Structure 1
Amino acid sequence: MPEPDAVPGADASRWDARHAVAGPVVPMPPDAVRGREHLLPAGGRALDVACGRGGVAAWLAGRGFAVDAVDVSPVGLAAGAALAPGVTWIAHDLTTGLPVAGPYDLVVCQRYREPSLYPALAAALAPGGLLVITVLSEVGDSGGQFRAAPGELVAAFADLVPLAIAEGGGEATLVARRRE
């Protein structure tokens, strides 16, 4: 069962309510690597940031990764823990930073944008480690406070080697590797 760590009431409650009425969790690869699974490391340590109900964390664990999964919602984490008990499930408010340290061979962050975390995500990567990040974007959308500006991910992770970049349809994605 996940251990709580600085989980704020309002945000956790909002996500708890959303996860409580969702359907079954399905293990799945990160969206940005579907069809590009060959880019993933063969195994090692993985971090799933803002993991929600843990579909990606469970999929990674099924591929042999030792996974740490972090989210603000204890209800979401409990759903993930029921699916993949071998994952380390961590309840944590990510606006206060990462609760874990690397190095990780793979860091995944899907649809959670907290620019203050970008340096910590890059720092958590092992040499040769892979970052897979998708955020909401202003590109192809009407904008808003939770959306990345054009080129935000590429600029934020300029020290990494980009393998795949996409912006459009209201999303921005970057798959990049830390230099050896």
Structure 2
Amino acid sequence: MPTTGRALDVACGRGAVAVWLARRGLAVTAVDVSPVALAAGRALAPEVRWIEADLDDGLPAAGPFDVVVCQRFRDPALYPALVDALVPGGLLVVTVLIGEGAFRAAPGELRAAFGHLDVLHHEDGDHEASLVARRPLTSAGASPGSRRAPGR
């Protein structure tokens, strides 16, 4: 995990990951819909940029970021935006719950969605799936349907 650069924590909740990243030395932007959760995070790490936003409206934070983290929040419509927010060589960390229901992923979903990246770790457990991947240094790792210019 890098100790410098910019990081984005998507659906950050109370900000445990955002605070951890900030304490490692990254400049962190954290996004969540809950003002109560964001206030709790802000009390722990005022240096983090806390953004209140409904992710149903898209990803509000402007990249690029060296690290993008999304833990236990699933919206496949945001998957391309998560990749697009990364710098070439940037690290993506995603964890989702597996199972039945609209907010849970099918086994293999993360690998299918992010397999065009350099996958460093992927695991489908009984109840959770996780993926760590790096955006390639070339434009070949751009997300399908990406609007970014090559090399960005």
Greater shift after overlay, 94-103 or 116-125? Answer: 94-103
Write out the 4+ residue segments of structure 1 that deviate beyond 4 Å after TM superposition. Answer: none
CA distance in 2, matches of 1:83, 1:42: 19
AA at the equivalent of 1:107: V
Q: How many residues align?
A: 137
- 2:75 maps to 114
Structure 1: which 5+ residue stretches go unaligned?
Answer: 1-39
AA at the equivalent of 2:128: E
- 2:18 maps to 57
- 1:164 maps to 121
Aligned-pair distance for 1:100?
1.3
AA at the equivalent of 2:134: R
Is 1:102 aligned with 2:59? no
CA distance in 2, matches of 1:121, 1:101: 11
CA distance in 2, matches of 1:161, 1:149: 21
CA distance in 2, matches of 1:80, 1:43: 20
AA at the equivalent of 2:56: T
Is 1:81 aligned with 2:42? yes
User: Helix, strand or coil: the match of 2:67?
Assistant: strand
Is 1:150 aligned with 2:107? yes
TM-score (norm 1): 0.75
AA at the equivalent of 1:73: S
TM-score (norm 2): 0.88
CA distance in 1, matches of 2:78, 2:97: 15
AA at the equivalent of 1:137: I
User: Helix, strand or coil: the match of 2:101?
Assistant: coil
- 1:176 maps to 133
